[in-house]
Structure 1
Amino acid sequence: MTESDHEEQYGVGEPDQFQRLWTPHRMAYIKGESKPTGAGAGDGCPFCEIPKMSDEDGLIVRRGNSAFAVLNLYPYNSGHLMVCPYRHVADYTELDDAETAEVARLTQDAITALRKASGAHGFNVGMNLGTVAGAGIAAHLHQHVVPRWGGDTNFMPVIGQTKVLPQLLRETRQIIADAWPHD
């Protein structure tokens, strides 16, 4: 640290040798900003609002007839996608046959695209059905596709409760969209 660093930090605690990795964008998630106010589709559900946006603004990687793939705004790893039906349903058993098939197909295509785009070594794929199961937005079904690499769990998330993501979400969205299998 330089003397000017100490001056800028004056009054905020004793200077030390630690570097700080500030992630202020995570505070929106922690505070629950933009979370739905209720369980209905008209209660501010982001998975109902995202399809109304452009692909770039909504971070949509692929649109299907009854479902879409979108980057997670608060990813566990770079390339963390979610596959969501357009219809506002909470439980997997509520999907009709066409929705079930398209969620499955988009999930397979997401894995193919992420392997091509990022060289992922493996994946965590799954749904958290209900708040008690860990669903952040329980009212609208979504399946997570999280790319994994050997050694991607390092000291940052374990000790610092921080994920280091090497790429901006818009750049990640474009790379994955470009790698998506063509119909």
Structure 2
Amino acid sequence: MTHAPALLRRIRFCLAVVVLGLLVSGVTAFPLREELSFARDVLAQLNVGSVLPGAVWWVNHVAEGLDATAAAYPFIAYGTDWLAFAHLLIAVAFVGPLVDPVRNVWVIVWGLVACVGIVPLAAIAGAVRGLPLGWQLIDMSFGVVAAVPLVLALIWTRRLARGIPSASPVRAEPQEAAR
């Protein structure tokens, strides 16, 4: 039990990394057109096209697609607004494990399930939608990278749970206490 505060700090750090990643992903999903316009300008100024012509072509192609879609069908961007909101909402789900990882270990497991699900989604939807394989691999890497701190948090949470006496972490519900 003497290691409990250190384990709790490690767990919270890992979960904070995941939450930060979700928040950044969520916030940056709102201004996609502006971000891609900026990326297009930076790639052109740095002459990245001479080294990575495929990547520069793809960024330009996506930026043109977003611009054309926004001009003709601006309401389509509402879908990425929901994507952004979903990232922010998923980040909020990790508040429970940040406060009490043992009681909310299921959220950590749920996060790992989501990470695993990213790989087939990116492979299948990416292929169906015509994304280059490199971009599909980048998308898959988000699930793989997020799984690392979640696996560590899960291991340490289970270790923490084994060190807690069975009666102390759970308070009896009022109905049960009356019995």
| Band of TM-score, shorter chain | under 0.3
Larger helix proportion, structure 1 or 2?
Answer: 2
Tell me the TM-score normalized by structure 1: 0.27
Which protein has the larger Cα radius of gyration, Structure 1 or Structure 2? 2
Larger strand proportion, structure 1 or 2?
Answer: 1
Tell me the TM-score normalized by structure 2: 0.27
